[in-house]
Structure 1
Amino acid sequence: MLPITSCDGGSNSDDRSESDTSQVRGHEEILKNTAKVLTLPTPMQIPALLKNTNAVYDASNLLPIVTSQKSYYKSGLLFGMYMLDLGYTSSFSHQQASLNYFKACKQIGDDLGLGVKITQGHVNRFNENLNKPDSLGRIILDMYDLGHKVLIDQEKEGLGFLMVLGCYMEGLNIVLDQAQDHDLILFVHLLNQQKNYGNNLKSVLNGYEIPLEIQQEVKDFNTVLNTLNKIDLPSVYELKSGSKTIVGIKREDITLIKQSVSSFRKSILI
């Protein structure tokens, strides 16, 4: 389930005032035959936190939109990455860029068989709310949730988790490029968050055979997660109280994570 409030088809629903907290929560995945609930990332969390802390929009963080057709599994990763970039451009009210990434997501979604749920109604709502970041955020989360649910209904859960993996790695790219210099406490908070999400995602990916065509991308993800797991990350409370410092965050570890994220993004574009 996705613990958010989404827009319905009515034109008046997008005008409602809603707390930004709906856009910074994680996706909760309830594993079958178990009571365990895992929280996974969504496309709006990191962009919304950066916007709320007055970060400056940087278009160089965006993954270029490719026109060449990608393989089935890489398309799943790319869908998640473009959804994150759509969340980023929408949060900072860059309307043309948002429209470009929305079109890219819609095209990939159609290619993956998601068009049955991500319909012309979403296109119309998106166009009508281009100047309303909060409403766009709800529409984006609605699309993301619907896409994941369609894949589960089609018994393609593995592809759905690849979509989440793309979102995770693209979000980490923005964290490393922007949050580190913008706000140290936010940076540490997001690293802790990505560490938790990464371990949750790894636990579900372990249940699937990784296709040959994306083994390099999964290898990059594993390098990121292994590095995050060995870093002694303080909590925000520990930082603010002075009971712990950032001495455990080593420059070489952050460099390795950056290199792995860069490798992941470059591999997708090939």
Structure 2
Amino acid sequence: MINYKQSINLCFAVALTVFICSCGSNSKKVAAEAEAEAFEKAENQLLNEIDKVVHDMPPPSEVPYMLQATGSDFNGDLINSIDNVSKYENVADKAAMNLGAYATDIGYLSSYDQVQDALKYMEACQKLADQIGIASAFELDLMERFEKNLGNKDSLANLINYAMEVAEEKLEATDRLQTVALILSGSYIEGLYLSVMVIDTYPEDLLPEASRNLILEPLVKIIIDQKEPLNDVVKLLKDLKSDDTIAGVVAEFDILRVLYQEDLAEIDKKIAEGDPNFTLNKDMLVDIIAEVKRIRAEMVR
């Protein structure tokens, strides 16, 4: 039979057990809340970074239009062939990056009034968007509007930019931030590739060197101006949850980023020296041009 003292001890033991369990439960609850808060904070940070990249990076149509404004001739061999679409349809990461690339190619085609080809590329984008689960970004209404505005290249540019904004918003809404980053990366590399190839394929014997450099200087400036968007894309990619694809893109973009830092440091030095005879020329970007061509070849293959 339990005496009074034993009863007190038993009650104390029960109370202590309840207290310890309660503390443990509260600790777990606090830890879970802290983890959820940290996750939400990290996710919001990523969304803010994506917004910054989208804001700072030229939309798909901008670089092609800048190229056209310099007076450079159209070269249909530069863009990614739509015959390659079938290679990307069953590979989501490739589909995402080349959706971005094709969007930039549409900007290039539209800026040179290659409207029928631009429409074919819109259809290619529709297939890839369907592959990654955002077909509504290229819904029938948008395609019809694009077809009706084939005679207005400004409207075509606005429509492809709008379609890509919708695609990015839909992916963000479903937390598919890696796919957004890959689309942005593909669009960025394609715009940069078009820029370096316009320079790299410019005839060497058409004009004297001084005159050629003067013509190409605005194109070199376009490439130089892509340094900050590159930094933004690299930072975004590094903050994402990494997988083999993201890690591979980061590694390639990091090489390009270092080359930008090295080559532009010399250019900045020349500008600071105030040499009146100094002009930008493609020889200053040899390493950047080679790396962009390598990354782009890997992306579209």
TM-score after normalising by structure 1 = 0.77
SS of 2:138's equivalent?
A: coil
Please show how residues 108-257 of structure 1 align to structure 2 within 5 Å. Answer: 108-179=128-199, 181=202, 183-213=215-245, 215-232=247-264, 234=267, 245-246=278-279, 251=283, 254-257=285-288
Q: What is the CA–CA distance in structure 1 between the aligned matches of 2:248 and 2:233, rounded to whole Å?
A: 17
Contact 2:252 2:295 in 1 (8 A): yes
1:105 to 121, 125, 129: 125
Deviations 1:146-166 (A, max 9, x none): 111111111112211111110
Q: What is the CA–CA distance in structure 2 between the aligned matches of 1:142 and 1:227, rounded to whole Å?
A: 32
Deviations 1:32-77 (A, max 9, x none): 578x945123111111112222221011111122123241112111
RMSD after superposition: 2.7
The residue type equivalent to 2:104 in the other structure is: L
Where does residue 67 of structure 2 map in the other structure? 50
Change over 3 Å in CA distance of 1:37–1:64 after alignment to 2:
closer
Q: Following TM superposition, by how much is the alpha carbon of 1:267 offset from its aligned partner in structure 2, in angstroms?
A: 2.2
Q: What is the CA–CA distance in structure 2 between the aligned matches of 1:138 and 1:185, rounded to whole Å?
A: 28
The residue type equivalent to 1:201 in the other structure is: V
Deviations 1:206-250 (A, max 9, x none): 111343246444432222121011123657xx59x7568357x78
The residue type equivalent to 1:48 in the other structure is: Y
Structure 1 unmatched runs, 5+: 1-29
The residue type equivalent to 1:226 in the other structure is: V
**Total equivalences in the alignment:** 235
Q: What is the CA–CA distance in structure 1 between the aligned matches of 2:46 and 2:177, rounded to whole Å?
A: 11
Please show how residues 13-32 of structure 1 align to structure 2 within 5 Å. Answer: 32=47
SS of 1:155's equivalent?
A: coil
Q: What is the CA–CA distance in structure 1 between the aligned matches of 2:298 and 2:277, rounded to whole Å?
A: 37
1:88 aligns with 2:88: no
Q: What is the CA–CA distance in structure 2 between the aligned matches of 1:33 and 1:212, rounded to whole Å?
A: 24
Contact 2:47 2:172 in 1 (8 A): no
Q: What is the CA–CA distance in structure 2 between the aligned matches of 1:215 and 1:267, rounded to whole Å?
A: 14
Change over 3 Å in CA distance of 1:31–1:41 after alignment to 2:
farther
The residue type equivalent to 2:187 in the other structure is: C
Change over 3 Å in CA distance of 1:165–1:244 after alignment to 2:
farther
Structure 2 unmatched runs, 5+: 1-44, 203-211
Q: Following TM superposition, by how much is the alpha carbon of 1:111 offset from its aligned partner in structure 2, in angstroms?
A: 1.3
Change over 3 Å in CA distance of 1:59–1:161 after alignment to 2:
same
Q: Which has the higher helix share?
A: 2
Q: Following TM superposition, by how much is the alpha carbon of 1:117 offset from its aligned partner in structure 2, in angstroms?
A: 3.4
Q: What is the CA–CA distance in structure 2 between the aligned matches of 1:132 and 1:97, rounded to whole Å?
A: 14
Q: What is the CA–CA distance in structure 2 between the aligned matches of 1:108 and 1:138, rounded to whole Å?
A: 20
Q: What is the CA–CA distance in structure 2 between the aligned matches of 1:250 and 1:83, rounded to whole Å?
A: 26
Contact 1:217 1:267 in 2 (8 A): no
Change over 3 Å in CA distance of 1:210–1:256 after alignment to 2:
farther
Which of the pair has more CA radius of gyration?
Answer: 2
Where does residue 78 of structure 1 map in the other structure? 98
Q: What is the CA–CA distance in structure 1 between the aligned matches of 2:139 and 2:75, rounded to whole Å?
A: 30
Where does residue 266 of structure 1 map in the other structure? 297
TM-score after normalising by structure 2 = 0.70
Q: Following TM superposition, by how much is the alpha carbon of 1:82 offset from its aligned partner in structure 2, in angstroms?
A: 0.7
